[in-house]
């Protein structure tokens, strides 16, 4: 009956057979990239159980870097069969994403891939520190600004700006907008400025996304992967958190001993 199975069913069957074999070393190729979300989750959980609970050696071949970073303690990156990087998962994943972004920049060099109106021209967008110095590297925890300079060929009423920060694999991390304060702009050169009291995004490489439009949703300008920057930190406790998440909440902790009412009586 296997010949009547769909390709997806064949992969599921192969994965079930492979993971049930008591092998010391298991090689899995792209299994985390097929099937629906439920099947991918099941595969992911099974891989974790084999590695962390049963102590098996599992070699996973794949391109879903975020998943591999979570499940693997060590990663290697091959380029045309040649070893490029070998080390901790977070280190190799960062290198892979940086190289991917560099390739995208090369392919898009001299091209305009933005969704935009002829009435809008982006002059510049960049990250600045508290002293108004343009930054390509910014220290975690320090205040910063994002400035957007643009020109309009004609007056536009109720103009709003949506600005977000995303990772190198386009995971949107945070966003801010001016919807509650739309503004009328005459023709000419203008700017938007977003100010933040603290950089709470954990160390890594990030980019800006810009959406400009009207309150009713008309798109005037929309593109991502603008003005790449790096968040850095010399604090080891903060730097190591980049392996565990993307953003650090401004939180406080408390602890104490619980005393039951019955004991007090």
Q: How much is the pLDDT for 109?
A: 46
Phi then psi for 131, rounded to 5 degrees? -95, 15
115-243 maps to which CATH number?
2.70.50.60
Residues 89, 75: contact at Cβ < 8 Å? yes
The structural domains of the chain, with segments of one domain joined by +, span: 2-108, 115-243
Q: How much is the pLDDT for 15?
A: 65
pLDDT tens column, 202-211: 888 899 999 9
Domain range 2-108, its CATH number among 3.40.50.300, 3.90.650.10, 2.70.98.40, 3.30.1370.30:
3.40.50.300
**Mean per-residue pLDDT, 135-150:** 93
Q: How much is the pLDDT for 263?
A: 59
* Count of CA atoms in the C-beta half-sphere (13 A) of 248: 20
Is 70 exceeded by the pLDDT of residue 36? no
CB atoms within 10 A of CB 146: 21
- The residue that leads in pLDDT, 89 or 132, is 132
Residue 81: partners with Cβ closer than 8 Å, 6 or more residues away: none
- The residue that leads in pLDDT, 171 or 23, is 171
Residues linked to residue 78 through DSSP beta bridges, in sequence order: 83
């Amino acid at each position: 009956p296997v010949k009547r199975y769909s390709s997806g069913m064949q992969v599921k069957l192969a994965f079930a057979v492979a993971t049930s074999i008591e092998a010391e070393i298991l090689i899995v190729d792209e299994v985390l990239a097929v099937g629906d979300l439920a099947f991918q989750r099941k595969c992911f959980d099974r891989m974790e159980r084999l590695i962390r609970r049963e102590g098996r050696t599992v070699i996973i071949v794949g391109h879903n870097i975020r998943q591999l970073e979570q499940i693997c303690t060590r990663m290697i990156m091959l380029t045309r069969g040649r070893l490029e990087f070998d080390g901790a998962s977070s280190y190799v994943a960062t290198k892979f994403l940086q190289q991917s972004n560099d390739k995208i920049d090369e392919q898009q060099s001299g091209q305009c891939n933005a969704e935009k109106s002829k009435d809008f021209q982006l002059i510049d967008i960049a990250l600045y520190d508290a002293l108004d110095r343009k930054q390509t590297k910014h220290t975690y925890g320090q205040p910063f600004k994002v400035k957007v300079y643009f020109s309009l060929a004609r007056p536009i009423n109720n103009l709003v700006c949506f600005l977000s920060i995303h990772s190198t694999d386009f995971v949107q991390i945070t966003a801010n907008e001016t919807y509650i304060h739309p503004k009328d702009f005459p023709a000419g050169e203008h700017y938007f400025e977003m100010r933040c009291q603290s950089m709470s995004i954990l160390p890594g490489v990030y980019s800006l996304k810009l959406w400009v439009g009207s309150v009713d949703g008309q798109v005037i300008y929309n593109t991502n992967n603008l003005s790449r920057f790096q968040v850095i930190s010399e604090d080891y406790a903060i730097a190591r958190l980049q392996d565990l998440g993307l953003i650090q909440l401004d939180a406080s902790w408390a602890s104490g001993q619980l005393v039951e009412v019955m004991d007090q009586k």
